Amino acid sequence: MQAQRACVDEVARLGLADGAPVLELGLGNGRTYDHLRDRFEGHPIFVFDRQVAAHPDCIPAGSHLRLGDFRQTIPVFLAAHRGEVGFIHADVGSANKAKSIALANVLAPSLSDLLVAGGYLACDQPIQLEDLVRIAIPGGDYCGCYHFYRRAG
Full domain range(s) for residue 125? 2-151
Report pLDDT for 95. Answer: 75
Buried b (16+ CB within 10 A) or exposed e, 125-145: bebebeebeeeebeeeebeee
CATH classification of the domain holding 97: 3.40.50.150
Q: Please choose, from the candidates 33, 26, 5, 15, the residue with its C-alpha nearest in 3D space to the C-alpha of residue 118.
A: 15
For the cut 70, the answer to whether the pLDDT of residue 74 exceeds it is yes
Residues 65-81 have a mean pLDDT of 95
With 0.75 as the threshold, say if the pTM is over it.
Answer: yes
Q: Please, what sign has the CA dihedral across residues 55, 20, 144, 136?
A: negative
Report pLDDT for 142. Answer: 62
Residue 12 DSSP one-character state: H
Quick: pLDDT tens for 5-53: 999 999 999 999 999 999 999 998 888 999 999 999 999 999 999 989 8
For the cut 80, the answer to whether the pLDDT of residue 144 exceeds it is no
Mean pLDDT of the chain: 91
CA distance 117 to 74: 18
The SS3 of residue 60 is coil
Report pLDDT for 93. Answer: 75
Structurally, the chain folds into a number of domains equal to 1
Buried b (16+ CB within 10 A) or exposed e, 48-78: bbeeeebeeebbbeeeebbeeebeebbeebb
Report pLDDT for 67. Answer: 94
pLDDT category at 1 given cuts 50, 70, 90 is low
Q: State the Rg of the chain over Cα.
A: 14
